[in-house]
């Protein structure tokens, strides 16, 4: 049965990768680098049939005859297929969300990632650029005949188109200039056609801004399904909200105690706001210091995590880069590792992309950004995104070798985000350095980020299942989360643009922290590094499956 399952799993994965060549390339598989995903109605029908057949093949496997590792791979693959089928046949985002059709991703990976030789990448770029006019024609057809778009999605898609224009007009020619004579003869014409298609699509979207009045909220029934598929958990929206609101109160109490200690005063109302304001003032950042502060924090964390012997630190390169324009509009930072299927992954850098301060906003909004992302907060951000958070966890994950590629290709958002939040807690507990003042600041901003994590879940549930207004959300985030107005406004926008993803931080952290606690109880004689290495040795599975793999 083991051999049969592995054969079926690999065949299913190959079919998924073939259906989505952009995703395949992100994973490091270049076989479809010259194609774009077919997003037509007909393709949806074909995809649904493929996914249904794949589920049937997996359901024929007797999981009682599999090893624990293969059984987990089976469950992860089955859950992914079920999620894809639900999205394709039920949610149907291609008919309502212009971000699903954003062309920048198709170009960015070939420009920025050294997946294969420049000449081959330029040939793939020529092919993809030639396909962009048809791709965007399909986008207009599907979005134009769909149930309607929301204004926030259209605005974000238009902003990202600016980044796509830059990629096509500047970055692709710059790549071609690196190796004169390597570009195919049709690249220039393909770029010209692609730019014209992007302009036409941008004008089309702009013309629909005023009529894009659809509500981006999912509603209770659809959100509950989306949450189930995202979390791979039986946790209901109602139960999630109750837990989050309870933890919110406990975290507010912890922040109040830490603030009183930082200010050297007895506990009293309002001290948290005062303490965090002092941190922002005394650890100010600015337009020319955000990236250097992140780079300095990354270098320090590499040394500190090794010194504390918290987890094995691999020597894979990590770089801090400005967030590409074509990827802005949702998060302030993200971690972009090399694809796990790329044989050169260990030599390719993991990119920690940080959005530059908002130049198109008012002076007050820019100052708000620098207060929110002061030097103390940037340190904690780099813990989350890089060390020992995402970059380190994903470096461990890339080394996982199971019976199939499932554990390398499919990752759990709750585990990935849960580990990164756990890493913040871990560093705050052990300290930034031997300086008590440094450690007090890190503890304060970590607790503020914990508030943000919990409020992410509260906002996510209340927005998509209820009638939470923007004013109510802003009050919640600013008053109880101590967020700057600009940060709160960005989070409201992010909640509108996404659904369920904001809950992965809170639910994932709960699962990861529980595993760490239980592992310590079962293996009291093992060091922090040994136990954390055990947790990171299985790729990025959902926390419930990691418990199985660890024998908990």
Q: Given pLDDT bands bounded at 50, 70 and 90, which one contains residue 355?
A: confident
Measure the CA–CA gap between 166 and 280, rounded to whole angstroms.
34
Give the pLDDT confidence score for residue 450 in this predicted structure: 98
Kind plus residue range of the DSSP H or E element containing 534: helix 528-535
Question: 336: which strand partners?
Answer: 351
User: Torsion over CA of 106, 129, 29 and 92, rounded to 10 degrees?
Assistant: 50
Rg (CA), the chain: 23
| CA geometry: angle 251, 487, 101, nearest 5 deg | 115
Alpha-carbon distance values, 47 to 30, 38, 41, 73, 145 (Å): 21, 10, 10, 22, 20
Residue 306 corresponds to which tokens in the numbers above? 């090794």
Mean pLDDT lowest for which of 3-7, 74-78, 281-285, 347-351?
Answer: 347-351
Residue 471 corresponds to which tokens in the numbers above? 């004013």
Q: Which of 205, 38, 47 is nearest to 131 (CA)?
A: 38
Q: Given pLDDT bands bounded at 50, 70 and 90, which one contains residue 326?
A: low
Give the pLDDT confidence score for residue 114 in this predicted structure: 80
Alpha-carbon distance values, 415 to 8, 114, 529, 541 (Å): 26, 28, 18, 7
Is the predicted pLDDT of residue 330 greater than 80, yes or no?
A: no
Residues 138-157 have pLDDT tens digits of 999 999 999 999 999 999 99
Measure the CA–CA gap between 515 and 552, rounded to whole angstroms.
8
Give residue for tokens 């249904």: 52
Judging by DSSP bridges, how do beta strands 350-354 and 318-322 pair with one another? parallel
Give the dihedral sign, CA 375/422/447/255.
negative
Question: Average pLDDT, stretch 413-433?
Answer: 97
Residues 111-136 have pLDDT tens digits of 988 878 999 999 999 999 999 999 99
Q: Given pLDDT bands bounded at 50, 70 and 90, which one contains residue 63?
A: confident
Is the predicted pLDDT of residue 86 greater than 70, yes or no?
A: yes
Is the predicted pLDDT of residue 360 greater than 70, yes or no?
A: no
Q: Given pLDDT bands bounded at 50, 70 and 90, which one contains residue 287?
A: confident
Judging by DSSP bridges, how do beta strands 350-354 and 333-336 pair with one another? antiparallel
Question: Average pLDDT, stretch 346-371?
Answer: 82
Give the pLDDT confidence score for residue 516 in this predicted structure: 98
Q: Which of 538, 239, 262, 300 is nearest to 412 (CA)?
A: 538
Measure the CA–CA gap between 330 and 135, rounded to whole angstroms.
23
Measure the CA–CA gap between 112 and 125, rounded to whole angstroms.
12
Question: 330: which strand partners?
Answer: none
Give residue for tokens 């209770």: 220
Q: Which of 210, 402, 430, 417 is nearest to 301 (CA)?
A: 430
Give the pLDDT confidence score for residue 430 in this predicted structure: 97
Measure the CA–CA gap between 398 and 248, rounded to whole angstroms.
34
Alpha-carbon distance values, 120 to 127, 153, 298, 402 (Å): 11, 34, 33, 31
Question: Average pLDDT, stretch 337-365?
Answer: 82
Mean pLDDT of the chain: 94
Measure the CA–CA gap between 26 and 535, rounded to whole angstroms.
25
Question: Average pLDDT, stretch 102-110?
Answer: 90
Residues 219-270 have pLDDT tens digits of 999 999 999 999 999 899 999 999 999 999 999 999 999 999 999 999 888 9
Give residue for tokens 């950004």: 369
Residue 177 corresponds to which tokens in the numbers above? 């200039």
Residue 436 corresponds to which tokens in the numbers above? 């008590």
Measure the CA–CA gap between 148 and 73, rounded to whole angstroms.
38
Is the predicted pLDDT of residue 327 greater than 90, yes or no?
A: no
Phi, psi (rounded to 5 degrees) for 101: -105, 5
Residues 145-202 have pLDDT tens digits of 999 999 999 999 999 999 999 999 999 999 999 999 989 999 999 999 999 999 999 9
Q: Is 479 exposed, middle or buried (0-12, 13-18, 19+ CB in 10 A)?
A: exposed
288-325 CB burial, b ≥16 within 10 A, e <16 = eebbebbbbbbebbbebbeeeebbbbeebebebeebbb
Residue 71 corresponds to which tokens in the numbers above? 């059984």
Q: What is the DSSP string of 35-59?
A: -----SHHHHHHHHHHHHHHHHHHH
């Amino acid at each position: 049965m083991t051999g049969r399952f592995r054969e079926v799993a690999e065949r299913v994965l190959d079919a998924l990768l073939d259906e989505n060549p952009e995703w395949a390339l992100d994973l490091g598989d270049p076989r479809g680098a010259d194609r774009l995903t077919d997003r037509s109605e007909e393709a949806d029908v074909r995809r649904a049939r493929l996914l249904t057949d794949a589920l049937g093949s997996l359901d024929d496997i007797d999981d009682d005859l599999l090893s624990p590792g293969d059984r987990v791979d089976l469950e992860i693959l089955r859950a992914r297929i079920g999620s894809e089928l639900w999205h394709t046949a039920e949610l149907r985002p291609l008919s309502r969300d212009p971000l699903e059709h954003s062309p920048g991703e198709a170009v960015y990976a070939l420009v920025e990632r050294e997946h294969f030789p420049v000449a081959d990448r330029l040939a793939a770029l020529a092919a993809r650029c030639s396909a962009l006019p048809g791709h965007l024609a399909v986008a207009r057809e599907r979005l134009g005949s769909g149930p309607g778009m929301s204004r926030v999605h259209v605005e974000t898609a238009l902003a990202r188109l600016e980044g796509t224009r830059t990629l096509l007009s500047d970055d692709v020619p710059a790549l071609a200039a690196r190796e004169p004579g390597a570009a195919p003869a049709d690249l220039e014409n393909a770029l010209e056609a692609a730019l014209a298609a992007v302009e036409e699509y941008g004008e089309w979207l702009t013309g629909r801004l005023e009529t894009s009045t659809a509500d981006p909220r999912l509603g209770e029934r659809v959100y509950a399904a989306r949450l189930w598929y995202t979390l791979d958990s039986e946790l209901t929206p109602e139960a999630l909200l109750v837990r989050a609101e309870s933890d919110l109160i406990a975290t507010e109490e912890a922040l109040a105690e830490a603030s009183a200690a930082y200010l050297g005063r007895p506990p009293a109302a309002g001290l948290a706001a005062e303490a965090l304001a002092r941190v922002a003032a005394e650890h100010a950042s600015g337009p020319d210091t955000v990236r250097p502060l992140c780079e300095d924090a990354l270098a320090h964390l590499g040394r500190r995590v090794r010194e504390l012997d918290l987890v094995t630190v691999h020597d894979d390169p990590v770089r801090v880069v400005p967030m590409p324009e074509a990827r802005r509009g949702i998060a302030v930072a993200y971690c972009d590792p090399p694809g796990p299927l790329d044989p050169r992954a260990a030599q390719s850098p993991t990119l920690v992309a940080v959005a530059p301060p908002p130049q198109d906003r008012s002076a007050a909004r820019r100052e708000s950004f620098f207060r929110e992302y002061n030097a103390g907060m940037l340190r904690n951000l780099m813990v989350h995104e890089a060390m020992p958070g995402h970059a380190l966890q994903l470096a461990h994950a890339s080394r996982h070798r199971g019976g199939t590629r499932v554990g390398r290709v499919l990752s759990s958002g709750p585990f990935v985000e849960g580990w990164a939040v756990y890493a913040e807690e871990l560093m705050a507990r052990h300290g930034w350095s031997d300086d008590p003042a440094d450690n007090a600041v890190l503890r304060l901003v970590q607790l503020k980020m914990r508030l943000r994590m919990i409020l992410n879940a509260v906002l996510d549930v209340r927005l998509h299942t209820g009638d939470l207004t923007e004013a109510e959300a802003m009050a919640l985030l600013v008053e109880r989360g101590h967020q700057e107005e600009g940060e709160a406004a960005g989070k409201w926008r992010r909640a509108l643009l996404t659904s369920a993803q904001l809950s992965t931080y809170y639910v994932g952290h709960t699962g990861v922290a529980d595993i760490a606690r239980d592992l310590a109880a079962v293996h009291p004689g093992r060091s922090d590094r040994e136990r954390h290495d055990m947790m990171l040795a299985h790729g990025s599975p959902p926390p419930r499956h990691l418990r199985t793999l660890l024998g908990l």
